[in-house]
Structure 1
């Protein structure tokens, strides 16, 4: 009951990280019906294109053995070994091509669903696999019920197909006792082809349904609770409290570096206490004036205080201070629209340098 409640509480879709971790552990969606369908299709292909010719060769070899048994000497162990070797060779020539097709089909059906990967977690011994409770759940749980229904469908479908095909071929099967032995392989092959073709049609429907169900079931098992999503977010992106603290420390370091640059300023434009922008302009350095520090309220007062301590002119120009503070970042040159206003202030300072002290511009 508790496990059902836990599953119901997992209302959130799996995150990309949860899906990636699951795949890394070998927990991937896999349809068992795909290899079965691939095997049936491979058997049908082999029967159509390989079995007829190889079967004819096998019949010829067996006819020679049956019609002329005296031609084979069995007087010693080497004679028996030669006989068995010949029979084994003929059988191998007959069986190897279809077996190879079956192996390739099985590998391809698995590779199409998931790429090859070695996961030690899947083969590591685990005590939970010996748990009677979990084994009971696997058998009688939702997954076990679905597997039972699939097996029941296959049993009923294959049984019905076999009954229909055999009933339709009943006359030919009964007359098989009267035909030449060399014609039996063709008769058996024809019936087998009909059975395999009908089984492939029935299995392809089951495979399509199972592919969709296995994917949806896998995603459902990977669902997460809201708390799990929050915890994963904290682990991947960091705790919000820690990140806020880191941002605060970064702002403090930036503010200290900015204040350390104020003594290098050429002038400070203020408003008069709410905004302060420290500009540096040296003709030898080239370029437009650069904002070396800016701030509002307490930071603005701190900038003015440092400027006054170092004899840097502080000019009150409310519109210009507000516009510069909002438009220009620290360590950036001022835009062209501020050139004229700032140039006038710099010219004013340079012409009144000897008589200028920190104060207001009227």
Structure 2
């Protein structure tokens, strides 16, 4: 009941990130029936193209071994080794092509379903596999019922196909009792090929259904709840509270650096407490005055306090201070339209040599 309730709460389709994470973890849709079908198809190819030729190559060796067993010396270990080498090479020559074809068809069935991936998590121990509760849910859950239905379908279809093929070959089986024994292997191979071919044809429908079910069940298992969508969105975009906190910290650090830079200013233009702009002008540094710091209200008062501590002139000019605050950013030179009023203030300060604040009307 808990599993059903949890699955019902997952109403949202999986996101691209959820699908990508599942693929990286090795959770991919796989149809077992496709692998079985590939094995049967490989067996059909082996019967059609390899068995006959392989038997013809193997028969002379077996015939020589069975017809004249005394012709092989077995007096020493070297003689036994030579005999086993001959038999082993012939057996390897007979078995290697079928094994390779089975392997190729098996790999093709897997690669055509999913691209190859290295998922180390799949080989790690999973104790839920030996849990009785988990095993019970797998056996009697939706997936277990589907596997049971597929097994019933395969049993019934294969039984009917084999019975039909054997029924149609009944006459040939009776005729075999009166035919040359040399023809029996070919007759058995023909019947076996008919059986395997019929089974492949009968299971094509099952393979198509199983492929579709594997994809559907995989995406169904990856469905997400609304809360999971929200959490993933927060992880992708960043928690708004954390982002706001980081922005606040960045602003605080920027203000601290700016206020610290105000101690190097040549003059501060204020309005008188709402705005403050700290300027630095040295002929050998920049062609025009540069804004080292600016601020409103509390920051403006802080800039004025730093200026007074460092004996930097503070000029009160309401219009100029407000205009500079709105037009110029920190660490930028003042625009040309401010050259004249700022130059007049600098000239006034140099002519008066006032160490503290002066007021310009």
TM-score in terms of structure 1 length: 0.75
- Residues 218 and 120 of structure 1: CA distance in aligned 2, closer, same or farther (over 3 Å): closer
Partner of 1:182: 182
Residue 344 of structure 2 corresponds to residue 343 of structure 1: no
2:145 maps to which residue?
145
- Distance in 2 (CA, whole Å) between partners of 1:327 and 1:203 is 78
CA gap of 1:295–1:317, structure 2 versus 1, over 3 A, is same
Whether the aligned pair in 2 keeps the contact of 1:269 and 1:320 (CA below 8 Å) is yes
Task: Return the alpha-carbon distance in structure 1 between the equivalents of residues 189 and 196 of structure 2.
Answer: 10
Q: Give the 3 Å change call, closer, same or farther, for CA 296–160 of structure 1 in structure 2.
A: farther
Counting only pairs closer than 5 Å after superposition, residues 244-283 of structure 1 correspond to structure 2 as 244-270=244-270, 273-283=273-283
**Equivalent residue for 1:72?**
69
Partner of 2:313: 312
> Does structure 2 conserve the Cα–Cα contact (< 8 Å) formed by 1:24 and 1:119?
no
Partner secondary structure for residue 135 of structure 1: helix
Q: What is residue 214 of structure 2 aligned with on the other side?
A: 214
Q: Which runs of 5+ in 1 are unaligned?
A: none
- Pair 1:146–1:351, CA change in 2 (3 A): same
Give the conservation status (yes or no) of the 8 Å contact 2:313–2:358: no
> What value does the CA root-mean-square deviation take over the aligned residues?
4.1
**Partners in 2 of 1:2 and 1:341 — Cα distance?**
73
CA distance in 2, matches of 1:193, 1:361: 109
Partners of 2:269 and 2:320 within 8 A in 1: no
Number of aligned pairs?
350
Q: 1:139 to 1:361 in 2, by over 3 A?
A: same
Q: Which residue of the partner structure matches residue 56 of structure 1? A: 56
Post-superposition CA distance 1:40-89 (Å, at most 9, x none) = 22222322332221122345556x46xx966334999879x89x957776
Residue of structure 2 in register with 1:4 after alignment? 4
2: CA distance, partners of 1:92 / 1:170: 35
| Deviation of 1:207 (Å) | 3.4
- Which secondary structure does the structure 2 equivalent of 1:101 belong to? helix
What residue in structure 2 maps to residue 40 of structure 1?
A: 40
**Distance (Å, rounded) in 2 between the aligned partners of 1:88 and 1:297:** 96
Q: Are 1:25 and 1:122, in contact at CA under 8 Å, matched by a contact in 2?
A: no
Q: Distance in 2 between matches of 1:116 and 1:204?
A: 30
Question: What is the deviation of 1:111?
Answer: 5.5
Contact 2:275 2:321 in 1 (8 A): no
1:90-105 superposed matches below 5 A: 90-105=90-105
